[in-house]
Amino acid sequence: MSVFTGAGVALITPMHEDGSVNYDKLAEIIEFQIDNHTDSIIICGTTGEAATLSTQEHIDVIKFGVEQVKGRVPVIAGTGSNCTEFGIALSKEAQEAGADALLCVTPYYNKATQAGLVSHFKAMADAVKIPVILYNVPSRTGCNIQPATVAAICREASNVVGIKEASGDISQVAALMSMMDGKIDLYSGNDDQIVPIMSLGGKGVISVLSNVAPRQTHEIVADYLAGDVKSSCRKQLEAIELIKALFCEVNPIPVKHAMNLMGMEAGPLRMPLSPMEPANLERLKTAMTNYGLL
């Protein structure tokens, strides 16, 4: 059974002005997501600034998210690391906190070999009993999981059930889905490729766009799954200007600014992330206005 089908939000982590986690706003944002039909909450991932959370903050945010959601949608915890042992420890903590599944990014900076990736993900998956979704985002990690490597990981670890594909390489994704023959759940990791990924057998998207437009992102997937590909494609294309603006600087800089513009009080970013350049902020405001968010 799939961990989820539809549009899951790669949730931001709201901060107070002093940089501490704003749990009151996190609760409000989770309720906003569920009220607007988000199909899953992905917490403490890249968009959640997990790289700058302390270990205790990381665990506490996962626990808080699970408790706030109360089983209404699946909670998927980001526990990937470039250190296998730390990733294992964090994954065990997330399982103990009640996460429904894990999202595990490829080891960054180390740039593991393909054989190393198999060993890394097998060790992490073997350490827990809940499902694991791989996360392939070579533009951020410098490491690309090849289709044959995904197949090897799935043979070695039965609880590796899905992959968030953000390579942008549709040909690679097609090769993966041909090789796996339905034995892995595919999620788009790029908001501008939801429909193309769905056409290759995708189950949905793990989305940055969903932070500001959860209902609309849900509908892109829901329409496709209902057989209305024309409507799904139209809604995908209507969102392209906004999606591009949300990635005109490194994620999650623009999306946190967008949420603040909407009055959602996402707060500041943690260094080394910095405020948007004025020209890019104006581009974001224009895109949000054109999409009906402002």
Q: What's the average pLDDT block by block, 10 residues per block, for the chain (294 residues)?
A: 95 97 98 98 98 97 98 98 97 98 96 96 98 97 96 96 97 97 96 98 98 98 98 98 98 98 98 97 98 98
pLDDT of residue 116: 97
287 C-beta neighbours (distance < 10 Å), count: 22
Q: CA 257: distance to chain centroid?
A: 18
Beta-ladder partners of 134: 104, 163
Sequence-distant (≥ 6) Cβ neighbours of residue 158 within 8 angstroms: none
Sequence-distant (≥ 6) Cβ neighbours of residue 76 within 8 angstroms: 3, 4, 8, 40, 41, 42, 43, 99, 100, 101, 102, 103, 133, 206
pLDDT of residue 94: 98
pLDDT of residue 1: 76
Beta-ladder partners of 15: 21
Cα angle for residues 167, 173, 175 (degrees, 5° grid): 135
Q: Is residue 106 within 8 Å of 143, Cβ to Cβ? A: yes
Q: Say how far apart CA 46 and CA 164 lie, in whole Å.
A: 12
Q: Is residue 76 within 8 Å of 105, Cβ to Cβ? A: no
Q: Say how far apart CA 214 and CA 10 lie, in whole Å.
A: 11
Domains of the chain: 6-226 (3.20.20.70)
Q: What is the dihedral of CA 34, 37, 38, 39, to 10 degrees?
A: 110
Q: Give the chain's radius of gyration (CA, Å).
A: 18
Q: Is residue 205 within 8 Å of 8, Cβ to Cβ? A: yes
Q: Which residues are marked as active site?
A: 135, 164
Q: By three-state DSSP, how is residue 48 classified?
A: coil
